[in-house]
Structure 1
Amino acid sequence: MIMSNVVLTMKLLNESFAVCRLEASEPIPEWASYGSFFSITKTAEELSIVCPQENVPGGIKCEPGWRILKVEGPLDFSLIGILSSISSVLAGSGISIFAISTYDTDYILIKDEKTNKAIEVLSANGYNIISE
């Protein structure tokens, strides 16, 4: 089913998050799994961690200052174009994203300084934005 005439609700999570990069050979650090949201992805090239910014110890390669908009779900796997629609709306206003998908929904990371603009743009394009 192509996403059309579907009003999506997105929830702004309270915390600030960091996107970290470790070497693929490193074990998953304990600090990575603290908090109500974290994402850990391991590939042959890297260990990528998204977690609350306050969890990240010094000396870790990371990009701090991200906020998360959670697409309220669960979303049916037959829906097509959710991330495409959101990213197109934001790209049209010069806002880049870092997206994470789970079984039930999608999470859109936006740099902290662009959050208010992103909420404004998404709201103007028919998305319902709520706060945690």
Structure 2
Amino acid sequence: MNLKKLDYLLWVCQLKKQHLPHCAHSIMEILLINKENRFFSFIESEGEITLIMDQETLQRFPKDYLTTSPKKYYALEITGPLGASAVGIIHSIAEPLSEAGISIFYLSSYQTDYALIAEDEFQKSLSTLSKHFTLLNTAIQIKQTSSGVSESSEYQENKNNAKKENRRKLGFHQKSLCLASLDKEEPFLLASYLLQLIFFVDKREDRFFSYHETNGIISLILSKSELSTLLFLQGDENFIRVYDNEFTRISIIDQLGIEECGIVDSIAAPLTRNNISLFYLSSFNSAHVLVSNSSFISAQTALNEKYDIIIK
């Protein structure tokens, strides 16, 4: 497994749901008109919409409606055998970075995963990860920092001690979700339906939906009924790729800080120890994990040591 740095910096942005209509034109341009291989993510959960994009794409949006992250991020693309059945990938990346005191913003997609790391911590992250992975296209000079392993371990220990006093809550959502993927060049009819999934939803307040696009490939997380409609629209073409399993979503109920360290591995580590594969999506104020429905009970048991479980 290798890690490849993408060539551009990314912004993580928050959009309030009531402001979505004001950004409709910008999003429609990205979905329907823009043919360049851009990195763009749209993640809608109960309380927020998270957008992730490069600087050029960000300039398409009206300035008054987005809250942007205080820092820009480099993305490391994980190349290798990934997928819904892969166990331990996220933990293998998140653990050394957490121990080094480096926070990450993590995104799983149908075809690959991405670890987003703040620009000012990227050199340190490369030094840390180079001990475990082959790094590709990392055209940034790696400088040795004065803080050694002992300082990083002390930093992480302080973080862990702070968390022990206040157990966070995890919500296990019983509504099943599906994972699908298609090439962006597929028929316009499907693009029209994707716009419908983003803009014309009856019960937006408790909805989860994810659209991720990079390298001309679209990755979707959507409900069973939404997937059924998508499959109907493709007719006999069979160009939509779908995972066989259905998934349970686990969300962190307490609000997170976008630069908080150790969150990804606090979930990935116990699941990995119990041989449970996962998809992980960070959002502006929270995080969301997908495990197969067959792992619903075992995931509760694995995570209950650190988190309070709430069935939703």
TM-score normalised to structure 1 length: 0.83
The match for 1:53 among 49, 52, 55 is 55
Residue identity over aligned pairs, in percent, reads 30
1:20 aligns with 2:6: no
Task: Choose between structure 1 and 2 for higher RCO, CA contacts under 8 A separated by at least 6 residues.
Answer: 1
Structure 2: 5+ residue runs without aligned partners? Answer: 139-312
1:117 aligns with 2:124: yes
Displacement of 1:31 after TM fit? 4.0
Deviation sequence 1:63-118 (CA, Å, 0-9, x none): 14111000014514222111111111101111100001001111000001111111
Rg comparison, structure with higher value = 2
Equivalent pair of 1:74/1:104 in contact (CA under 8 Å): no
Q: Please give the secondary structure, in 1, of the residue aligned with 2:11.
A: strand
Displacement of 1:30 after TM fit? 4.5
Point out the more displaced range, 19-28 or 93-102.
Answer: 19-28
- Structure with greater strand percent: 1
Number of residue pairs aligned between Structure 1 and Structure 2? 124
- Structure with greater helix percent: 2
Amino acid at match of 2:58: V
Equivalent pair of 1:73/1:104 in contact (CA under 8 Å): no
Equivalent pair of 1:9/1:72 in contact (CA under 8 Å): yes
Backbone CA RMSD of aligned residues: 2.0
Equivalent pair of 1:40/1:50 in contact (CA under 8 Å): yes
The match for 2:90 among 83, 96, 102 is 83
Displacement of 1:56 after TM fit? 2.2
Structure 1: 5+ residue runs without aligned partners? Answer: 1-7
Q: Which residue in 2 is equivalent to 1:3?
A: none
Q: Which residue in 1 is equivalent to 2:115?
A: 108
Q: Which residue in 2 is equivalent to 1:39?
A: 41
After the TM superposition, list the runs of 4 or more consecutive aligned residues in structure 1 that deviate by more than 6 angstroms. none
Distance of 1:54 and 1:130 partners within structure 2: 24
Equivalent pair of 2:83/2:110 in contact (CA under 8 Å): no
